[in-house]
Amino acid sequence: MVETISTPAEKLSQRAMAALGKLPPFSPILNKLLASLAGEDVSFAKLGDLIEKDTVVAGNIMHLVNSALYARRATITSVRHALTLLGMDKVRNTLLGMSISRMWTQVKAPPMWSMARFNRHSASVAVLSDQIASRVRADYPEGAFVAGLLHDLGRLLIALGLPDEFERLVKAHEQSGRSWTECEREILGFTHAELSAEALAKWKFPEPVQIAVRDHHQPPAFQAGEPVPLSAVVCAANQYINSTGESIVASRLVSAEDAGAIAALGIAEENVGRLLADFNAEHAAMSVFFK
C-alpha cells in the first residue's frame, strides 16, 4: 500500500473544509429549494406547507410580496397566494437567501471577520447576478442568484477553519496592495473560489453553480453572440458591488462605482442604468432579510 503524503496546501484546505461541520444543518425548506434548483419537481403546495410551519420565513415572504417592490393594490394575506404571485424562481431565490443568511448568523466567527459585511456583500452580489442574468443570454441563468450568494463561501471557511492564516491574509492584502486571491495563493496555496466550489460539490449543488463559483475571479473568454458564462455574470456583479464599498474586508477606499464589467457582458450603456435601478429597488426590498 502506497502512503499518501499531503502537501501543506492540502492540509490547510482540509482544515478549512472541516469548518463546514461548524455550520448548522440545512433546514427542510432549504433542502426542498436545492431540489428545485437541481431540476426536481417541487410543488408550491409542498413548499407552502413547509413555509407555513416557519413563522419567520412566512413573515418575510409576506413582507416581500406586500413591499413597494411589487406595489400590490390589496394586501396579500395568504402564503399560498404570495407564492403564486412571486413565482418559483423568485420564491426560491428569496428563501435561499433568507435560509442561508440565518445559517451564517448562528456561527461564531473570529474577531477579524464581520458576518454582517459578509451577509450584505453576498446578498448584494446574488441580487445583482440575478438581474444581470435576466438581461443577457447567460449559461444556466437559474443558478445566478445562488452562485452570487455563495461565491465567497470559501472565505468564510478560511476564517472559521484557519483563523491565524486569515489574519495573515488580511494584513498581507492591506499592506502589499496585491489582490486577495494573490495573497491566498502565497499564504495558503489555494484560493477561496476553489474552496467554495469544493464545498458546493459536497453540498450537491448543481455542477454549473460549482463551476461559476470556482471561476468567478477568472471567467473564460466568450465571443459576442455566445452564451455568457455564469462565472462572468458573478464576476461582473462582484466587481460592481466591491466598487460601491460593500466588500467583505473593508480595507480599501472606494473612489467611484464602476459598472464597466457589467457593460462588458454586452449590455448597452443606457440599459446598464436601468439594470442598476432595478437592482437597487430589489436590493432595498430584500436587504432587511440579510443582516
- Predicted confidence at residue 33, as pLDDT, reads 74
Taking residues 148-159, what's their average pLDDT?
A: 96
pLDDT digits (tens, 9 = 90+) for 272-286: 999 999 999 988 888
Confidence of residue 4 (pLDDT cuts 50, 70, 90): low
Is the per-residue pLDDT at 250 higher than 50? yes
* Structure confidence by residue, pLDDT tens digits, 261-273: 999 999 988 899 9
- Structure confidence at residue 1 (pLDDT): 47
The arithmetic mean of pLDDT across residues 233-259, rounded, is: 83
Instruction: Give percent above pLDDT 70 in the chain.
Output: 93
Each residue's pLDDT tens digit, 186-195: 999 999 999 9
Is the distance from CB of 140 to CB of 230 less than 8 angstroms?
A: yes
Q: Where in the chain is the domain with CATH 1.10.3210.10?
A: 8-21+110-289
Question: What's the average model confidence in pLDDT over 223-234?
Answer: 94
Percent with pLDDT over 90 in the chain? 49
Tell whether the model's pLDDT for residue 93 goes beyond 60: yes
| pLDDT at residue 53, rounded to an integer | 80
Q: Which residue has the cell 458576518?
A: 115
Rounded-to-integer distance, Cα 221 and Cα 226, Å: 10
Higher pLDDT: 151 or 68? It is: 151
Secondary structure of residue 286 in the 3-state scheme? helix
Measured CA to CA, the distance from residue 145 to residue 44 in angstroms comes to: 20
Q: What is the pLDDT of residues 37-76, one digit of tens each?
A: 666 676 777 778 888 887 877 888 888 888 877 767 778 8
Note the pTM of the prediction, 2 decimals: 0.88
Residue 168 CB neighbours (<10 A) = 15
DSSP state of 190: S
CATH fold for domain 8-21+110-289? Hypothetical protein af1432 (1.10.3210)
180 or 77: which leads in pLDDT: 180
Does 270 or 165 have the greater pLDDT score? 165
Please give the average per-residue pLDDT across 223-239, as a whole number.
94
Residue 164 pLDDT greater than 90, yes or no: yes
What is the identity of the amino acid at 37?
A: L
Query: Are the C-beta atoms of 213 and 234 separated by less than 8 Å?
Result: yes
- Look over the chain and give the mean of its residue pLDDT values, rounded to a whole number: 87
Q: What is the pLDDT of residue 244?
A: 92
